[in-house]
Structure 1
Amino acid sequence: MPIAVYDLTVPVFTRMLTNLLTIMDIAEANATERKFDPAVLANARLAPDMIPFRGQVMIATDHVKGCVSRLAERDVPSWPDTEETFDQLRTRIGKALDLLATIKPADLAGSETREVTLRLGGKDLQENGLVYLTQRVLPNFYFHITTAYAILRANGAPIGKRDYIG
């Protein structure tokens, strides 16, 4: 039996976003223990020209909502990128998890061959669902989740590979 698109999306996104919540809890507790404001972590970045932690979370959740919505032929929800605190970021991750909970295997059945249109750089880009998922969404999702992890780790959070993988 071939692997379904559902199996490559909903369980994967759910696990990694749940792990991100755990990592955030560990980082926040560590910041409090070390007597610095955990809000500093929301704006931390690995390099001056990189997007901060909060942006990494926003983009990762954007990929989640965009992917499952497009593949299920639903409208992509619009979430303003205004989160600045860990609590606000947790709420955003919660919205993504709630959205994932509404997606059933039947919603994504056959989506590997569905045409997905993205607007990039002012131009429309069309890809079939499988290419969109495997060559665009998953690499970007993992990049931003990994970068979020690395930002917290670089700032002293006592987290490791087990926390990332879950």
Structure 2
Amino acid sequence: MTFGYGIDAVDRTPTLREGLTRRVGKGRVHDLRPLQGVIVTIRLRHGLQAYYRFTHGLSCEVAMSFSVYEITVPAMLHGLRVHDDYLDHAQRLERSRGLAPGEVLQAALAPDMLSFGKQSSISCNKVEAHMSKLMQRDLPAPVEPAMTYPALKGRLLETRGFLQAIEPNMLNSAQTHTYDIKPTIAHGWYGGDDYIRHLVIPDFFFHVAIAHAILRHLGAQVGKRDYLGNLSQQSGGYS
């Protein structure tokens, strides 16, 4: 048996039990024993849902349901900020090593791999392509910015604007579609969940990781903290 209650993030209380005691729908609950075996669905922001199943002793088993928006847009915005930071690291490395301006942008891990500058620009193209596909829009033409720091930073800024203009409801049906993926990376038809989990997110962060590896290989002082970027802990896990 499942009941759905419109509880705002469990009223931001330390425990679900306390939150339900103080607020369930419009009433008040003082005896939670009838909830044993019940699944409570809590609606959060941007289409997220939390599922709590009360077991013996009123302990809780918790599962989360994330929306496509929450899985993609915040993560990509975060990754683009990391790319922007890496461009700053690259400039500092050039100055400290006496390298020609833009020399790091041309560096690659292997002859058949994209350069550091291209890792940044292709990430932007991947964001626009993947998100347009998820929104059932025509794919935009890839952008090829000049391999200069101002041009690459401008492209990152433009792509962040593209992501920030996406509303959660624009992605509501993304999981229900199938996607025709063309070579070279993969090919065939993918369901929405598989496309997002196994291609969209890994494909995007591959280029962030390679940019990191190039900087590290050249001797830049970057580590895991730089790759993870500016992490912030929000009260209750939601804002």
| Structure 1 stretches lacking a partner, 5+ long | none
User: How many residues end up aligned between the 2 structures?
Assistant: 165
Distance 1:137 1:83 in 2: 25
Distance 2:146 2:196 in 1: 26
1:28-43 to structure 2, matched below 5 A, reads 28-43=91-106
Distance 2:140 2:122 in 1: 14
Pick the aligned partner of 1:108 from 171, 180, 186: 171
* TM-score normalized with structure 1 length: 0.89
- For 1:153, the equivalent position in structure 2 comes to 216
Higher Cα Rg, which structure: 2
* TM-score normalized with structure 2 length: 0.64
Q: 1:22 to 1:124 in 2, by over 3 A?
A: closer
- Choose between structure 1 and 2: higher strand proportion: 2
Q: Deviations over 1:141-163 (max 9, x none)?
A: 11111001111121122211111
- Choose between structure 1 and 2: higher helix proportion: 1
Pick the aligned partner of 1:83 from 139, 146, 154: 146
Distance 2:101 2:109 in 1: 16
Determine if contact 1:31/1:157 at 8 Å carries over to the other structure: no
Identity %: 32
Q: Deviations over 1:104-125 (max 9, x none)?
A: 111111211212223325x973
Query: Root-mean-square deviation (CA), in Å?
Result: 1.9
Determine if contact 1:24/1:86 at 8 Å carries over to the other structure: yes
Work out which structure has the larger RCO, using CA pairs closer than 8 Å and 6 or more positions apart in sequence: 1
Determine if contact 1:44/1:53 at 8 Å carries over to the other structure: yes
1:118-137 to structure 2, matched below 5 A, reads 118-120=181-183, 125-137=188-200
